Structure 1
Amino acid sequence: MLRIGTWRSAGSLGMVVCGWHDGDPGPLETGIKLIYGMGGPMPDFPGLRVGALMATSAEEISEALFQGIDVVATAPDCCPSAPVVAAGMWHYGWTGSHSGALAGATVAGLVMAAQPGPCAVEIHRDGRSSLDGDVRAETVRARLAGTVPLESVRLSQEAPSRLLITPC
């Protein structure tokens, strides 16, 4: 499972990506990566590898993560779902042939970006995700109508503050 959380700070949407292997053979690997939406100056991150360029797409973000960059800055016009999709591409190796997983991650990323405060999402290998925060399925459907073909995912309220997103 891949866990992603956000925090809000002046001039930025910060996103922390924590990755680990889930059931794969081999040693357990953990890591923390930062995907930093630029809206102001980049803070100092001592000891971390900071990307030299601002990423504009999920592909560019995931490429930087594959290259071992610890902090990836995103351009202001970057799609709000790109960091979540990129994290899945980096962690699970998703490509264009993983359309269900990419659809689930896209919706999870759009929902995360629309949250007014901190929230967290758990993304599974198949693109299924659970979002924890102040989120309601009806509100998400209304926000995403016309943006995302909602027949590609199923939204269900698991608990008052937990939304399940399942690719169809």
Structure 2
Amino acid sequence: MLRIGTWRSAESVDVVACGWHDSGPGALATGIKLIYGTGGRVPELPGLRVGALPAQGAEEIAELLCQGLDVVLTAPGCCPAAPVVAAGMWHYGWTRGDVGALAGATVAGLAMAAQAGPCSVEIWRDGRSSLDGHVTAAAVRARLAARFPGGRYRTPEVTVPLESVRLSQEAPSRIRIALRAGSR
């Protein structure tokens, strides 16, 4: 499973941490990768390999993670779901052919980006996910709806119809996110 989280406060840069190659093929390889939006100051991170130029989207972010960078910067205006989709591409080896998984990660990324405070998502290989934080299914649905102009969200990798998104409240602070089969 892949875990991704954000830390948000007025005085900090938005950070997405992803890592834990614990369920992929091959030997266990744990670690953390950081993806920073370039809108703020990136702290000094001695000993970590930091990308020199901002990445434009999920495929670029994933490529830089696969090249071994520890910290990837994203360009202003980058799709808010791109860091989560990229983390899945890096962790699971997803390609454009993995439409269901990419669509699921897109929804998880949009849901995570819409949260005002710290939160995390867990993403499985098939794109199913859960969102943890101070959340309710109704609030997440409302925030997602605001990001789906015309009822669809388009990225270079997938188009996700809002009607395919299924949210269920698993616990007071945990939402399960799934997509209806065949709707991507």
Q: Shorter-normalised TM-score: what interval?
A: over 0.9
Letter of the 2:23 partner, please give it: D
How far 1:11 moved relative to its partner?
A: 5.2
Structure-2-length-normalised TM-score? 0.85
How far 1:20 moved relative to its partner?
A: 1.6
For residue 107 of structure 2, give the secondary structure of its aligned residue in structure 1: helix
Cα contact 2:13–2:42 (8 A) shared by 1? no
CA distance in 2, matches of 1:91, 1:152: 25
* 2:16 matches 1:15: yes
Q: Which residue is 1:30 aligned to?
A: 30
CA distance in 1, matches of 2:163, 2:94: 21
Q: Deviation string for 1:129-158 (max 9, x for gaps)?
A: 111001111122222226141233321111
Q: Which residue is 2:176 aligned to?
A: 164
CA distance in 1, matches of 2:145, 2:95: 26
How far 1:167 moved relative to its partner?
A: 2.6
The 3 A distance-change label for structure 1 pair 150 and 62 is same
Letter of the 1:28 partner, please give it: L
How far 1:99 moved relative to its partner?
A: 1.1
Q: Deviation string for 1:87-132 (max 9, x for gaps)?
A: 0001111111111111111111111111111111110000011110
- Detail structure 1 runs of 4+ shifted over 6 Å in the superposition: none
Q: Deviation string for 1:18-75 (max 9, x for gaps)?
A: 2223163x32111110001122222111000000110110011001001100000111
Structure-1-length-normalised TM-score? 0.93
Moved more, 5-14 or 103-112: 5-14
Q: Aligned Cα RMSD in Å?
A: 1.5
Letter of the 2:17 partner, please give it: V
Letter of the 1:14 partner, please give it: V
Letter of the 2:108 partner, please give it: A
For residue 15 of structure 1, give the secondary structure of its aligned residue in structure 2: strand
CA distance in 1, matches of 2:142, 2:116: 16
Aligned residues: 167
CA distance in 1, matches of 2:92, 2:45: 26
Moved more, 145-154 or 134-143: 145-154
Q: Name structure 1 gaps, 5 residues minimum.
A: none
Q: Name structure 2 gaps, 5 residues minimum.
A: 154-160
Cα contact 2:7–2:16 (8 A) shared by 1? yes
Cα contact 1:103–1:153 (8 A) shared by 2? no
1:154 to 158, 163, 166: 166
